[in-house]
A and B are shown apart, each in its own frame.
Chain A
Amino acid sequence: MRNFNNRYQNILTLIGRLILGGVLLVAGGLKAFKPAESANAVAAYKILPTQLAHIAGYALPWLEIAIGLLLIIGVSLRLATIVAGGIMLLFVASIISVWARGLLIDCGCFGGGGAIDPALAATVHRTYFIEIMRDLGLAFIALYLYFFPYGLFSIEKQAAPIEER
């Protein structure tokens, strides 16, 4: 396992950066120019007071875009992975909170969002589960990237390995 990682870490890190960064960039890009929709989606979670939720809904897409770009081009990778991992855990916690309170909403992850017809409860609960698993997977990628941030095609490079000299 360790050997495998030593050997392919360069590529694994690149793949991880592209997946995590790509998802963030797409998710942010789809929402950034539909601010009202995004603000409504955050408000539908009923976690923050409405006005604050709107601001969060305006800010979130742009944060996702910025972090996604950092991950893809490979700048300030540690910082980007911490923020990306934090965002994912926040999403997981929010969906669990919504589920626990019995609210039926569309997560608005890639645009859309808002309340859903109660008749669709079963489908919504399955969707919640899939979303939680997906975000946990992405959080795991962020964790891996935190420990191995430097790989192929990255602007930020590893400093010369001192101990090998």
Chain B
Amino acid sequence: MAKQAKATQGGDHFTRWLVIGMVALVVVTGVVFSVTSSKTKAEASFTALKGYTLGAEVKGTVDVAQGSGLVLNPGAPIKIDLWEDPQCPVCRLFEEANGAYIDDLVRTKKATVVFHVLSFLGDDSVRASNAAMCAADEGRYLDFHKALYIVQPPLENSGFFNGPNLIKIGSYVGLKSKSFTDCVSKGSKLAVVQAQTDAMQKYNVRGTPTVFINDKLWVRKSGTFDVNEFRLAVEAG
């Protein structure tokens, strides 16, 4: 051991500092590379919204008796409850597979869909959910909801879902009114947003996405979300 301890001495301080400097350089370069690549990706996501085709307006109501969920097209024979967080990546996969089908169910009045817009993943979710409920007031929940998943950043709570960006997202899906921008920047819907997340316990929802078809929990059987599987489950009731 004494032999080993003696190993390098004297002029070697230079090497040590050189190595420390190089390691620091590698780490700093890596961080800068990662930060810029994340930022660029987030900014680039807006371009995916260009040329978005708007659907017809759909009015919804918040129903306290249903966990403060946003009820679209009430009174249809089939009812689907969707519990989602705007930042949840698996919810994005669900939306990519089944979103168009669910939109169609609402627009053709085949099903009542109750959206529970959760925000347990953090502040970005709170702001995004608030904006989504603002969009609901303008009859544009379905469009805004879709847009949120199109731009969803891979990094959670990065601050990307902030007031200006949410207003910008809204502007791509027909939300340009002052009432919408005010609602987003003032956080007018925060009480409803909080109530929706609080309702998770009561309905025993422990993660997202959670789906109930006619109040029965639906669990996918295949490894990925498949619209045919989901359609069969909905049609079976």
Indicate whether A35 sits within 8 Å of B4 (C-beta atoms), given known contacts A62-B26, A118-B207.
no
- Which of A36, A38, A63, A159 interacts with B8 by CB under 8 Å? A159
- Measured CB to CB, the closest approach of chain A to B140, in angstroms, equals 28
- Measured CB to CB, the closest approach of chain B to A4, in angstroms, equals 14
- Measured CB to CB, the closest approach of chain B to A31, in angstroms, equals 10
Closest to A32 in B: B30
Residues from chain A with a CB closer than 8 A to the CB of B35 are 35, 58
- Of B12-20, B59-67, B72-80, B177-185, the one contacting chain A is B12-20
Residues from chain B with a CB closer than 8 A to the CB of A58 are 30-31, 34-35
In this complex, the interface size class of chain A, counting residues with CB under 8 Å from chain B, is: 35 or more
Q: Do the beta carbons of B6 and A59 come within 8 Å of each other?
A: no
B165 CB-CB contact with A under 8 Å: no
A67 CB-CB contact with B under 8 Å: yes
Q: How many residues of B contact A (CB 8 A)?
A: 34
Indicate whether A62 sits within 8 Å of B157 (C-beta atoms), given known contacts A117-B207, A147-B4.
no
Cα A147 to Cα B4 with chains together (Å): 7
Cα A70 to Cα B21 with chains together (Å): 13
Decide if the interface of chain B is mainly helix, strand, loop or mixed.
helix
Residues from chain B with a CB closer than 8 A to the CB of A75 are 15, 19
B122 CB-CB contact with A under 8 Å: yes
Residues from chain B with a CB closer than 8 A to the CB of A158 are 3-4, 7
- Which of A50, A59, A147, A162 interacts with B27 by CB under 8 Å? A59
Interface of chain A residues 117 through 165 with chain B (CB within 8 A): 117-119, 147-150, 156-159, 161-163
Residues from chain B with a CB closer than 8 A to the CB of A159 are 6-9
Indicate whether A162 sits within 8 Å of B6 (C-beta atoms), given known contacts A39-B155, A58-B31, A59-B30.
yes
Give the interface of B toward A (CB within 8 A). 1-4, 6-9, 15-16, 19-20, 22-23, 26-27, 29-31, 33-35, 37-38, 122, 153-159, 206-207
